Amino acid sequence: MTPKELKEKYLSFFKKNGHAVIPGFSLIPEHDPTVLFTTAGMHPLVPFLLGEKHAQGKRLTDIQKCIRTNDIEEVGDSWHLTFFEMLGNWSLGDYWKKEAIEWSLEFLTSKKWLNIHLEKISVTVFAGDKDAPRDKESAEIWQKLGIPKKKIYFLPKEDNWWSPAGRTGPCGPCTEMFYDTGKKKCGAGCKPGCSCGKYSEIWNDVFMEYNKTSKGYLPLKQKNVDTGMGLERIIAVLNGFDNVFQTELFQPIIKKIKALSSEINEKALRIIADHIKAACFILSENIEPSNIEQGYVLRRLIRRSVRYGRQLGIKDIFCHKIAKAVISIYPELKENQEFIFEQLVREEEKFKKTLERGLKEFERLDKITGKDAFNLYQTYGFPLELTEELAKEKEIKIDEKEFEKALKNHQELSRKGAEQKFKGGLADHTEKTTRYHTATHLLLAALRKVLGEHVYQKGSNITAERLRFDFSHKEKLTEKEIKKIEDLVNEKIKQDLEVKCEEMSLEEAKKKGAMGVFGEKYGAKVKVYAIGDPSNSSGQAFSKEICGGPHVKRTSELGVFKITKEESSSAGVRRIRAVLE
Ligand code: ATP
Ligand code: MG
């Protein structure tokens, strides 16, 4: 089965069962600062899992591109990738365990759908602890459907509890489905969840009935189902492979790397294939290698590839050649291919200049202090994690404490880092980002009033501390203009306007003059948020935008709006940063 066929089957199966097919979200979360990348299909849906109404209803399904930076070190094994696609279906307070499990198993094993032999499947369920009871209900459902008792494993929270790691927010027990590759058990204790590769976790059904808060686990307003199935893993098992790299989603890339190599090293091959693919997708979001946030992850992926390329005996600049093979598999990347090639060449050349010298410098050390690690980073461009890895390989000791400190300074990078940055947790930050979200709508409306109707949204990014907004406009804003915009937004805040939400078809929304983001994919039905009374003197709402939400109820909740910076973003696009005080 091809990936295309699988995607079509998945969506049509859930459509048949009453789900609305929604478009996948961007790989870079716009309104959630706690992560740098979308890590799962549920992630952009958090507001709806918390109770916000979704315009497409209570049953949704989609295909989501994901990046998991915390799986980087696992890449090279049979099943883990940095970039992968997730097939997902959701119940927003609608169906529950029975339907979710039945549908999962039907899709996997029915002749009409994936036709996987039932004997190949085993499952895990939550064993229970002080926070939540043993999930007997799920186990019973599995058993009724023909999964024998001995293939149902009860596992603790580390394995069978899903939540955005360590944070507050929607969470709950999950039940995971594993495929047995038929390989030999690696030992007596080998069972689903074992990392030897015999079992592949193909699908996870999460039952989100709790909200993790600072006071512990409280019941959620609504019980949700959140499922995620790994595209690459399913394609591998359906085609009889025991790892993802043998699939058509990787073979052209692997072949290209092999053709350029003079040494054999399967792990290096896999890592490069994975990392360059992930790099291509990050680059396609217009992100450049840098020393912060997504750009740092991108840099780390490219530089790690370059180092592994050296292990394969590759002498010339090569990442862009691998990227060509990636683009041959994912035509959607074609649009940005020039940028992708150019950036890869530039980054690889930059790193190559210092790599050899850096490695020499490395060889001279018999212990690495935080200062050394920083020197390797600053002078030779070694991402800190790369130094850590090299040290492990060469069995050179690291001064852990100091090194950790150095690393911590740098960790706005992954989920882990972001958590420290936004201590408030999900529930708390949702409130703050919601205010910024509404402020962004007011800002766009004010910009159009003050500067003109040529102003459109070009990008938006919100954290719990500020908003950042890119818009079409050629000239630098004058101080007068900035003041006018600020004053207008603050006037609307003071007027305590109601924020109204209406659902309608996309066409109707456009007819009503609602602003949308050009190039954005919308579903058949959309939500339109209007701020301000349509019965005011101009007969128009102050702001009207197509948007998923959430937003505050009244503008007075926002506080005082202040523009902190105005600068150029790219040709013909200006960027504003603003805070609410
Ligand atoms: P694992 O235990 O194998 O790391 P997980 O429990 O972290 O998987 P989930 O967070 O439940 O996985 O994600 C849902 C599904 O997405 C998984 O069942 C799997 O099919 C797929 N998946 C998760 N992580 C990866 C990855 N790094 N590469 C490829 N597919 C993945
Ligand atoms: Mg995992």
What are 169-223's pLDDT values in tens digits? 789 999 999 999 999 999 999 999 898 999 999 999 999 999 888 788 889 889 9
- Model pLDDT, residue 518: 58
11 contacts: CB under 8 Å, gap ≥ 6: 21, 61, 62, 63
Q: Measured in angstroms, how far is the CA atom of residue 228 from the centroid of ligand 2?
A: 12
- Model pLDDT, residue 419: 39
* Ligand 1 closest atom vs CA 193: 2
Task: Look up residue 565 and give its two tokens.
Answer: 């910076």
Task: Look up residue 362 and give its two tokens.
Answer: 């490395």
- d(Cα 307, Cα 351) in Å, to the nearest integer? 9
pLDDT digits (tens, 9 = 90+) for 140-175: 999 999 999 999 999 999 899 987 655 677 899 999
**DSSP states of 445-489:** HHHHHHH-TT--EEEEEE-SS-EEEEEE--SPPPHHHHHHHHHHH
CA 90 to chain centroid = 17
Averaged over 516-543, what is the pLDDT? 76
Q: Answer for the pair 251, 239: CB distance below 8 angstroms, yes or no.
A: no
For a pocket test of ligand 1, which of 10, 78, 79 has the largest count of ligand atoms closer than 8 A to its C-beta?
A: 79
- d(Cα 492, Cα 476) in Å, to the nearest integer? 24
- Model pLDDT, residue 133: 94
- Model pLDDT, residue 389: 87
What is the pTM (predicted TM-score) of this model? 0.86
Q: Measured in angstroms, how far is the CA atom of residue 71 from the centroid of ligand 2?
A: 7
565-to-25, 294, 347, 568 alpha-carbon distances in Å: 28, 22, 29, 10
For a pocket test of ligand 1, which of 74, 116, 191, 204 has the largest count of ligand atoms closer than 8 A to its C-beta?
A: 204
Q: Answer for the pair 178, 192: CB distance below 8 angstroms, yes or no.
A: yes
- d(Cα 557, Cα 574) in Å, to the nearest integer? 27
pLDDT digits (tens, 9 = 90+) for 292-330: 889 999 999 999 999 999 999 999 999 999 999 999 999
Rg from Cα positions in the chain: 25
**DSSP states of 387-442:** HHHHHHHTT-EE-HHHHHHHHHHT-SSSHHHHHHHTTTHHHHHHHHHHHHHHHHHH
Nearest to 323 by CA among 233, 232, 252, 236: 252
pLDDT digits (tens, 9 = 90+) for 426-478: 445 677 888 999 999 999 999 999 999 999 998 888 888 899 999 999 999 99
- d(Cα 249, Cα 246) in Å, to the nearest integer? 8
pLDDT digits (tens, 9 = 90+) for 43-90: 889 889 888 899 999 999 999 999 998 899 899 999 999 999 999 999
- d(Cα 521, Cα 55) in Å, to the nearest integer? 14
Give ligand 1 pocket residues (Cβ under 6 A).
40, 68, 71, 79-81, 84, 86, 201-204, 228-230, 232-233
* Ligand 1 closest atom vs CA 227: 14
